[in-house]
Structure 1
Amino acid sequence: MNIKSLLIGSAAALAAVSGAQAADAIVAAEPEPMEYVRVCDAFGTGYFYIPGTETCLKIGGFVRFQVNVGEGADFEGVSGPHSSDWDAGTMAYLSFDAKSDTEYGTLTAFIGLEADLDGPYAGVYVDEAYLQLGGFKAGSYYGPWDKGLNGETDDIKGGSIFNSVSYTYEGGAFSAYVSIDELEYRPTTTKPNGVGVTGLVTAALGGVSIDLLGSYDTEREEGSIRALLSADVGPGTFQVAGVWASDQNAYYNEAEWTVAASYAFKATEKLTITPGAQYWSDVAFVQGVDQWRVGLTLDYAITEGLAAKATVNYTDNDLTDDSTSGFLRLQRNF
């Protein structure tokens, strides 16, 4: 065999091997395009589009650590020999708010989950859950009786969370609300299911707003009304409220009537100081039993998302000893 034949044979062999290797080569698949989460600014900050949909979702909540001091400090409401004059507790809250635009207005689904932790006492439950389309709302949620004054001294709230169906009309500086509430598992109810009706009218002009709220318990055939005025005065906000109840009912059951006031003074960009006072007449609808309270609340913004709150209240009741109570709270919102 001459040199020329050897070279030709070697070239042929190399070509055959190369062809076999090329046939066995693995071709990498093209990566599928990734769908990134898009920010949704149609309903405010914090919303994003659920991938593959036109629904916007906002996840929020807070973690709270609080130490109560004074009479009735126990978070569980323990009384007697096992009660304590101080108690520490932790709360976690997580909310899911889904919104989308429809031809009938904004469609909303809201779920709020709460977990309360205090030693061996712990529980996780659904705090609120409701559907809303435009002004119509149905579910279990906090109604207008949940609103109080600035600070932590007043007690003008009443029965505020029910399974309800409501409608809210928004007209700029004027709004109106009406709801039908299912009344059950209340201290004042005697039937498995009762019915209540609530109405609220709100008007605002400049730095002044007023709420007129009324509710009627058809089972007890009794009702409650409340007026709340809020006004920007100097470096703070002044609020005053009055409540009257015809007798015990599912909406307000603390006293026949009460008046309360507070002033949230904006001392600095981070510190708000709120003194408050309240007077109750015929507490628990016992004629001649009155009560009054004065208190002070401090709110301090430590940093973005983290705040501290401290409050102290002095209460004088005609039938019980005077008492001083309060709490210290740290809360991280997100």
Structure 2
Amino acid sequence: MTVAEPEPAEYVKICDVYGAGYFYIPGTETCLRIGGYVRYDASAGQEGSFTGRGTTDVMDGDSQRSWSKRARFALKTWTGQETELGTLKTYTETRFDFLNGATDINAHFAWIQLGGLRIGADESAFDTFTGYAGAVINDTIVPYGGFDTNLISYTFDAGNGFSAIVSFEEGNSYAGYNFAGSELIDSYMPHVVGGVKWTQGWGGISGVVAYNSNWEEWAGKVRLDVNVNDAFSLFVMGGYGTDDNAPRNFYKVWGGNWAVWGGGTYKFNEKTSFNLQVSYDEAKEFGLAANVAYTIVPGFSVITELDWAHNDHDNNGYNWTGIPDGKKNALGGFVRFQRDF
């Protein structure tokens, strides 16, 4: 009787080309990293804030406010492989949310990148290339972009701090940007974004311009970042857009033609930082958000944030945060626990 020899064990081999956490997929030259986070948010706030939620008393039918609770599991994957045309990468992020009793699954990112060419589901270059709007969580009290989109983009990196991008984008079907409905492209003409950036040790300056093909509107933003020292950093960003056909749209989401955002981060130590953002637009809408982020142990953090939304005009049902008619302020806040892995 002949006994077959066992197959040799093929152990996982570490890949350190793209950073920590990567390993070679057995039998291939592709490096893979798997990660993600588990998050729990608990928030409360007045009507018109981004926190809390409106409810109805089950006994007497009165309108009232309650906690908003969200638990999320986000699964992320990264791959990398060197080719004759440059580094071939992929990135995916799938979010599983349990929000106020309802479950939702969102394939938030799913893109392929070869060299500077990126194709797939991403967030708009109008928002990512300039670096969002600070380190607070509710950074869209005065909004600055429409985010989720399918795109085809190309980024040129000169290697000396200068980079540039062009992005052809689909938009998305979320109602709310123009208070009329979808911002998904309505023809074969895509939305178009272009941008340039210069970064150095002191900080950087960046700018983006976008064309909304649905409404034939333009918008642009310029941002300045300054690293005061190792612990303290500041930013200011200004936006301007046309609004002849759509007062708010996928790129010019703020009220009026112009808006400004500013703020900074101060790191008290390796575990604790304070983040602040203020924002204002031509429609006299003001936002203030501040938080303290604390790392309990490596990979586990807690953030407590306070947010204030204000407008100085009659709402007439037409304001971003949803402050009710007859009121001008909405205060809210929340606490977030997050385990990254």
TM-score, reference length from structure 1: 0.83
- Does structure 1 residue 160 correspond to structure 2 residue 155? no
Partner AA of 2:329 in structure 1: D
The residue number in structure 2 matching 1:130 is: 111
Partner AA of 1:103 in structure 2: E
Within-5 A mapping of 1:69-218: 69-72=44-47, 84-144=65-125, 145-146=127-128, 147-152=132-137, 154-155=139-140, 156-172=143-159, 173-187=161-175, 188=178, 189=183, 192-193=186-187, 195-218=190-213
Q: Give the superposition deviation at 1:31.
A: 2.8
Q: Which runs of 5+ in 2 are unaligned?
A: 57-61, 315-326
The residue number in structure 2 matching 1:35 is: 10
**Alpha-carbon contact 2:264-2:276 (below 8 Å) kept:** yes
Q: Which runs of 5+ in 1 are unaligned?
A: 1-25, 283-289
Partner AA of 2:239 in structure 1: V
CA distance change for structure 1 residues 130 and 322 in 2, over 3 Å: closer, same or farther?
A: same
Structure label with greater radius of gyration? 1
The residue number in structure 2 matching 1:300 is: 294
- Does structure 1 residue 239 correspond to structure 2 residue 235? yes
Output the CA distance in 1 between the equivalents of 2:26 and 2:63: 52
The residue number in structure 1 matching 2:34 is: 59
Structure with the greater relative contact order (CA < 8 A, sep ≥ 6): 1 or 2?
2
Question: Which secondary structure does the structure 2 equivalent of 1:268 belong to?
Answer: coil
Q: Size of the alignment, in residue pairs?
A: 302
Question: Which secondary structure does the structure 2 equivalent of 1:269 belong to?
Answer: coil
Q: Give the superposition deviation at 1:217.
A: 0.7
Query: What is the CA RMSD across the aligned residues, in angstroms?
Result: 2.3
* Runs of 4+ in structure 1 over 3 Å off: 26-30, 72-83, 186-194
The residue number in structure 2 matching 1:291 is: 285
Q: Give the superposition deviation at 1:83.
A: 6.0
Output the CA distance in 2 between the equivalents of 1:262 and 1:68: 23
Output the CA distance in 2 between the equivalents of 1:90 and 1:262: 28
Indicate the percent of aligned positions where both proteins have the same amino acid: 29
Partner AA of 1:149 in structure 2: G
Q: Give the superposition deviation at 1:78.
A: 5.5
Output the CA distance in 2 between the equivalents of 1:75 and 1:83: 14
Partner AA of 1:139 in structure 2: G
CA distance change for structure 1 residues 131 and 190 in 2, over 3 Å: closer, same or farther?
A: closer
The residue number in structure 2 matching 1:251 is: 251
- Does structure 1 residue 230 correspond to structure 2 residue 225? yes
